[in-house]
């Protein structure tokens, strides 16, 4: 059974409020010598009578133009919601639509169940990329078989190649966000009395709206302040509308547009762990807490009004002398 069919059997499928939740755990156990083709065949298992055993090699060898096609991740998220969630489900689907949705789903599986895939890959980056590619092509093959069965190899190859491209983009962006968050935290801890260096936010693809390098959000992140409507990036898929198992089910969480009051967090404190090293924790802060801006920091306005509200009445004059 494909993941699409699994989601389709869940209560509420096809309604506007439906959320796909966490994908089911893989039914296979990877072996130490596996390459991309093995992950492909394992992911696409259940279609033995119809499965093109050589499809992954064909995509891996000849599908580079489609793998490199620029696909906006917000579009992949949209197609994932429409197809796997059944929300506004289209009648006929093209390879780039199926591939975008399958690649998004493949990365969610990779993120949720990394403990299943990664141990046998031993942290080798190229093997991890190839394994994720195999999972993406396998997922795309099962999705196409469930929705548009009987397609030619050319259709499936293009769908699988696009799925690889989307999964790789998501993986790259997740790693960059995690690395950047760690750098900001280390910088804030190491420069307690100084002004944190402001850096431009990196992005390997477009989210749908561009964040400028001098926006309030970047200043807040660089100054180690809370950002309205944002969570700290987590290894895997935070910031992409994906939750980790510890946070519960997957959901689509666009950034909040309603203005909120920005709260300055107190300095992090180090607590020795039992395993050695130091665990840094953020003290709890209430919304009414008063905080001061250290010398050298410019106060960031969090008011929803673009300009100060004019005062009524006339100012009081100080007598001369």
pLDDT of residue 49: 58
Better-scored residue on pLDDT, 268 or 95:
95
Task: Tell me the pLDDT tens digit for each residue of 240-254.
Answer: 444 434 333 433 333
Q: 43 near 27, Cβ under 8 Å?
A: no
pTM for the full predicted model: 0.59
Task: Categorize the per-residue pLDDT at 295 as very low, low, confident or very high, splitting at 50, 70 and 90.
Answer: low
Task: Tell me the pLDDT tens digit for each residue of 101-148.
Answer: 999 999 999 999 988 888 899 889 999 999 999 999 999 999 999 898
Task: Categorize the per-residue pLDDT at 282 as very low, low, confident or very high, splitting at 50, 70 and 90.
Answer: very low
Task: Tell me the pLDDT tens digit for each residue of 172-218.
Answer: 888 888 788 877 877 777 665 555 454 544 444 333 333 233 344 44
**In the chain, pLDDT over 70 holds for what percent of residues?**
57
Q: How much is the average pLDDT of 146-151?
A: 88
pLDDT of residue 31: 93
Q: How much is the average pLDDT of 36-45?
A: 94
């Amino acid at each position: 059974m494909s993941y699409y069919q699994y989601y389709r059997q869940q209560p509420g499928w096809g309604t506007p409020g439906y959320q796909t939740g966490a994908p089911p755990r893989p039914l296979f156990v990877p072996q130490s010598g596996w390459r991309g083709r093995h992950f492909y065949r394992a992911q696409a298992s259940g279609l033995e009578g119809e499965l093109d055993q050589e499809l992954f090699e064909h995509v891996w060898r000849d599908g580079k133009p489609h793998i490199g096609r620029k696909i906006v991740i917000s579009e992949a998220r949209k197609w994932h919601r429409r197809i796997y969630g059944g929300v506004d489900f289209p009648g006929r689907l093209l390879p780039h639509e199926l591939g975008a949705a399958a690649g998004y789903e493949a990365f969610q599986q990779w993120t949720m169940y990394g403990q299943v895939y990664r141990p046998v890959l031993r942290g080798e980056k190229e093997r991890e990329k190839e394994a994720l590619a195999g999972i993406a092509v396998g997922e795309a093959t099962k999705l196409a078989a469930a929705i548009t069965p009987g397609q030619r190899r050319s259709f499936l190859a293009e769908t699988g190649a696009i799925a690889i491209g989307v999964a790789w983009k998501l993986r790259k962006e997740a790693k960059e966000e995690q690395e950047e968050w760690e750098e900001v935290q280390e910088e804030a801890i190491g420069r307690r009395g100084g002004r944190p260096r402001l850096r431009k936010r990196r992005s390997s693809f477009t989210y749908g709206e561009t964040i400028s390098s001098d926006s309030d959000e970047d200043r807040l992140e660089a100054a180690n302040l809370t950002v309205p409507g944002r969570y700290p990036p987590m290894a895997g898929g935070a910031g992409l509308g994906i939750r980790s198992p510890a946070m519960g089910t997957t959901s689509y969480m666009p950034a909040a547009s309603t203005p909120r009051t920005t709260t300055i967090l107190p300095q992090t404190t180090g607590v020795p762990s039992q395993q050695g090293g130091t665990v840094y924790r953020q003290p709890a802060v209430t919304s009414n807490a008063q905080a001061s801006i250290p010398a050298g920091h410019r106060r960031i306005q969090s008011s929803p009004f673009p300009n100060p509200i004019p005062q009524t009445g006339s100012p009081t004059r100080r007598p001369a002398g």
